[in-house]
Structure 1
Amino acid sequence: MPIENIPEIYIKDKKKSPDLFVYDYKMTSDVVKGKVNLGMNMFSFLQVGKKHVHFAGTSVAVNKEQSLVLKKGNWLWTELLDTNAIYYCKLFFFSEKILNEFLEKHSKNKQIVKEEIPYFIIRNDAYITSYLNSLSAISEVPKASIENLLAVKFEELLLYLINKYGSTFELYLQSLIVNETSTFKKIIESKIHSNLKLEEIAFLCNMSLSTFKRYFISEYKDSPGKWLKDKRLEKAKKILEQGEFKPSDIYFDFGYNNLSNFSVAFKNKFGFNPSQISK
């Protein structure tokens, strides 16, 4: 079963990466353990049907009486139709950037959350019903106003849930962003001297390739392909300078399929062939 990259498959303009995005998800057939790479944290407001999700070592099941907040990452989703042969939920995606801005503005609890908390269950009440109706109404306003309106609605929702669930929900929100950058960088920098492809490193970061590239550029101010290539060649040069290995011994370990490609890349960066390094 292929991996679905969400919300990217729902965004029509592939050049944009919105901080907030709403999507009405409907289906007429069951999905059992579908593979999902969730590129943004997400509210899943279940309206009709049943949902069962797995994340690493935990899982949770909800019905239309409940909704979920889900941490971005790799999930297995089981979505089952109701008796009227339909499944429907409203999805509200949000970036770490806009969540961090909210917490900086409203959170009084600066406690560091070390534990990973993949989901939070919300009880659907009269407010949630009214809130979802207001989200649906936003889709009818001019596009130029939607972004600002969604920002207001996002802030409203989080303030309501903090008021309802208290510090438990606030700490959950903190857990969605804590160590996000350091974890990402830890993975990247541990894979510098490997022959993993970008797609493979992106999967280890629980991101689609396009999301990975955007996040990488925001952190390192360079494209991942160029940055990793430069770092790997610099390491290869140091190893060759130690005199224990020849270019033919190490080219594969640094992501090259043959010695010729390695030599060309090496010369383009340093101005001389790897075989010319003095022993």
Structure 2
Amino acid sequence: MPIENIPEIYLPKSAERPDLFVHDFKMTSDVVKSKVNLSMHMFSFLQVGKKQVHFAGTSVAVNKDQSLLLKRGNWLWTELLETEAVYYCKLLFFSEKILKEFLEKHMDNETMVNDDIPYFIIRNDAYITSYLNSLNTIGNAPDIFMDNLLSVKFEELMLYLIQKYGRKFKHYLQSLIGDGRSPFKKIVESKIHSNLRLEEIAFLCHMSLSTFKRHFIREYKVSPGRWLQEKRLQKAKETLEEGILKPSEIYSDFGYNNLSNFSIAFKNKFGFSPSEISSQI
């Protein structure tokens, strides 16, 4: 699957990347685990549909009642339609330069933090609805006024979110300054119990698959495929022993395309099939 460079694909080819940029994104079919190289920090104001994103060390899912602020970097995006025939979100991109200017203006005496927090969930409320309507309105303004209007609107939004979420949001904004890359082991170990393929985990590590495999063997002294299979099968066994879910309900969560392959791998490791656990509980 090709990598999408965002927001570059939304800009005219001859245009320089602005410090602030608004884009209305719509689609009429589901997109699953699209590879995205996000070169600016971004607000994603979800209006219709559902969204899930995987970043280096974590993942998050939201619906139309929530919006996201995402850190620049490599992401896997899943965007799904719901009852409507269209998926729609308004995207507001901002550069690190304009973020630094905001932080210098409004948080001079704040202690900087080193947390690596890739996303912040925003609960949509009456203000957010009104704010998005105002972005629609200024979209009709002459180009000569657009930059100044967007700067004012960006500052307004940031101040509102600081007032709403307090220190938690301030710390998040401070965490956006930097290169956005997490340590290799943190990324890998956060994806043990996901159904991501090795190629997708490598992408989140900013590596090609071949580089990822070489780096993995240096770190763990075993191939990534074998290591992940061992960890995932152990977790699958623990899940089945809880007696709530059946093998047919969990195999895809642990990276298997069908129940048969899951059952064979499970029996090879433990000496008994996953269905035997379910029948004993």
Distance across 1 between alignment mates of 2:156 and 2:179: 24
Q: Which runs of 4+ in 1 moved over 4 A?
A: 203-206
Which residue of the partner structure matches residue 149 of structure 1? 149
- Normalised to the residue count of structure 2, the TM-score between the two structures is 0.63
Give the residue type in structure 1 aligned to 2:30.
D
- Normalised to the residue count of structure 1, the TM-score between the two structures is 0.64
Q: 1:162 to 1:15 in 2, by over 3 A?
A: same
Residue segments in structure 2 that go unaligned for 5+ positions in a row: 182-202, 207-281
- For residues 176-187 of structure 1, the aligned pairs below 5 Å read 176-177=176-177, 179-180=178-179
1:6 aligns with 2:9: no
Matched-pair contact (CA < 8 Å) for 2:49–2:84: no
Distance across 2 between alignment mates of 1:15 and 1:142: 17
The one-character-per-residue Cα deviations of 1:94-137 (angstroms, maximum 9, x if unpaired) are 00000100110011553222121000000000000000000011
Which residue of the partner structure matches residue 22 of structure 1? 22
Q: 1:205 to 1:148 in 2, by over 3 A?
A: farther
Distance across 2 between alignment mates of 1:120 and 1:29: 26
Distance across 1 between alignment mates of 2:59 and 2:9: 24
- For residues 1-279 of structure 1, the aligned pairs below 5 Å read 1-177=1-177, 179-180=178-179
Give the residue type in structure 1 aligned to 2:162.
I
SS at match of 1:2: coil
Give the residue type in structure 2 aligned to 1:4.
E
Q: 1:204 to 1:53 in 2, by over 3 A?
A: closer
The Cα of 1:204 is off from its aligned counterpart by 9.7
Larger radius of gyration: 1
Matched-pair contact (CA < 8 Å) for 1:8–1:14: no
Residue segments in structure 1 that go unaligned for 5+ positions in a row: 184-202, 207-279
Distance across 2 between alignment mates of 1:61 and 1:33: 12
Distance across 1 between alignment mates of 2:172 and 2:115: 10
Give the residue type in structure 1 aligned to 2:128.
I
Matched-pair contact (CA < 8 Å) for 2:55–2:204: no
Distance across 2 between alignment mates of 1:205 and 1:95: 22
Distance across 2 between alignment mates of 1:96 and 1:204: 21
Q: 1:150 to 1:141 in 2, by over 3 A?
A: same
SS at match of 2:52: strand
The Cα of 1:14 is off from its aligned counterpart by 3.4
Distance across 2 between alignment mates of 1:141 and 1:44: 22
Q: 1:146 to 1:81 in 2, by over 3 A?
A: same
Matched-pair contact (CA < 8 Å) for 2:46–2:89: yes
SS at match of 1:157: helix
SS at match of 1:24: strand
SS at match of 2:34: strand
Distance across 1 between alignment mates of 2:15 and 2:62: 34
Which residue of the partner structure matches residue 195 of structure 1? none
Matched-pair contact (CA < 8 Å) for 1:53–1:75: yes
SS at match of 2:83: coil
Distance across 2 between alignment mates of 1:162 and 1:120: 12
Instruction: Give the share of equivalent positions with the same residue, in percent.
Output: 72
The one-character-per-residue Cα deviations of 1:163-219 (angstroms, maximum 9, x if unpaired) are 000010011000001x449x8xxxxxxxxxxxxxxxxxxx9996xxxxxxxxxxxxx
SS at match of 2:67: strand
Distance across 2 between alignment mates of 1:29 and 1:204: 24
Distance across 1 between alignment mates of 2:112 and 2:171: 9
Worse-superposed segment, 9-18 or 128-137: 9-18
Q: How many residues align?
A: 185
Distance across 1 between alignment mates of 2:21 and 2:104: 21
Distance across 1 between alignment mates of 2:109 and 2:24: 33
Distance across 2 between alignment mates of 1:68 and 1:110: 24
